[in-house]
Chains A and B, each alone.
Chain A
Amino acid sequence: SQELEQSPQSLIVQEGKNLTINCTSSKTLYGLYWYKQKYGEGLIFLMMLQKGGEEKSHEKITAKLDEKKQQSSLHITASQPSHAGIYLCGAGSNTDKLIFGTGTRLQVFP
């Protein structure tokens, strides 16, 4: 079965700093979803990548899917306290299921 590993598991950064979260799959990715979860709340969809080499941006968050399609990275530029939360990657398949990664807990301090 497919497994997704995220790194780092947790991250504490100062406001204004850039950061990167990685998601590595044990199998080829056929669609990679990034979600954000605020503490005590549900998951919010950020973006989805389908093709190797694809890159998408939403505000100050950029996600890339590498050419070999087994890894994705999420980059936040000039982090703000509002970026704090848990970031999860999810792998799509030919069914409706998503398999989620282990999550990265991000804290941003002023």
Chain B
Amino acid sequence: DAGVIQSPRHEVTEMGQEVTLRCKPISGHNSLFWYRQTMMRGLELLIYFNNNVPIDDSGMPEDRFSAKMPNASFSTLKIQPSEPRDSAVYFCASSSPRLAGVNEQFFGPGTRLTVL
């Protein structure tokens, strides 16, 4: 298996520009998670989908952030307009239906975003 695939791996952009991060979950997994990791705040859950439907977006910082999952094999996280404080590593993770209460999440390699 290829694992969770994220693109791009690195993104450098200027303040005000639109940024789109992409994620391909592991085939067969029905839950997808977007996280943001910074030194100050650690690993934060932004939003998660179950069967392509957004379940909890309470972690999305503000209206500049939006996420979509048009099908079971693709999701995007968009920031428009981007700001320097959005600089972080963004992770996508996926998981299969829980068995006996176990919900192991598989993480992608992350996208390192720098907003100048």
Overall SS of chain B's interface = strand
Q: Flag whether B34 is at the interface (Cβ < 8 A).
A: no
Digitize A50-91: 1 where CB-to-B-CB distance is under 8 Å, 0 elsewhere. 100000000000000000000000000000000000001010
Chain B residues 99 to 113 lying within 8 A of chain A, measured CB to CB, are 101-110
- Which residue of B has the minimal Cβ distance to A45? B104
Q: Give Cα distance in the complex from A95 to B91, angstroms.
A: 19
Q: Give Cα distance in the complex from A41 to B91, angstroms.
A: 10
Query: Which chain A residues border B91 with CB–CB below 8 Å?
Result: 42-43
Segment from B40-48, B64-72, B78-86 that makes contact with A: B40-48
How many A-B contacts if CB must be within 8 Å? 57
State the Cβ distance, A6 to closest chain B Cβ, in Å.
9
- Which residue of A has the minimal Cβ distance to B35? A100
B95 engages A96 (CB within 8 Å): yes
The size of the chain A interface, using a CB distance under 8 A, is 23
Q: Flag whether A48 is at the interface (Cβ < 8 A).
A: yes
A31 engages B105 (CB within 8 Å): no
Partner of B43, one of A30, A44, A96, A103: A103
Give 27 pairs: A residue, B residue, CB < 8 Å, sorted on A: A30-B101, A33-B104, A41-B109, A42-B108, A42-B109, A43-B93, A43-B105, A45-B104, A45-B105, A50-B101, A50-B102, A90-B105, A92-B101, A92-B103, A96-B48, A96-B50, A96-B55, A97-B33, A97-B45, A97-B48, A98-B45, A98-B103, A98-B105, A100-B45, A102-B42, A103-B42, A103-B43
